[in-house]
Amino acid sequence: AQTVTQSQPEMSVQEAETVTLSCTYDTSESDYYLFWYKQPPSRQMILVIRQEAYKQQNATENRFSVNFQKAAKSFSLKISDSQLGDAAMYFCAYRSPNTGNQFYFGTGTSLTVIP
């Protein structure tokens, strides 16, 4: 099974500042998908951003962007202009094309936004 590692259990950021959450993964596959999900206190999992491995261009969704380094197997999430509503658990996930859309999740990073 693929392994997804989030080495930062907790992070904090000042409101309006920028924060980067790290994620690394282990795989021998060349084609796959990577995701960042947000889980606020309501515990509803929300898709933040996704990246297809065959695309070299980093995905961007408004204030959220990723730094995808395929050779290094790294997939970090950058949140710009942090807002109080960004406070949540963030999970990095890997999807293999060979396991029926099964996702492998990291252990999560708890993000605190300081007003």
Choose, by CB under 8 A, the member of 30, 42, 57, 98 that binds other proteins: 42
73 forms part of the interface with other proteins (CB under 8 A): no
102 forms part of the interface with other proteins (CB under 8 A): yes
Quote the radius of gyration of the chain (alpha carbons, Å): 14
> 42 or 56, CB closer to other proteins?
42
Closest separation between CB of residue 69 and other proteins, Å?
21
50 forms part of the interface with other proteins (CB under 8 A): yes
* Span of 12-20, 53-61, 74-82, 101-109 interacting with other proteins by CB under 8 A: 101-109
Cβ(30)–Cβ(7) under 8 Å? no
Under the phi-then-psi rule, with left for phi > 0, alpha for psi from -120 to 50, and beta for the rest, what region is 94?
A: beta
- Please count the other Cβ atoms lying within 10 Å of the Cβ belonging to residue 98: 9
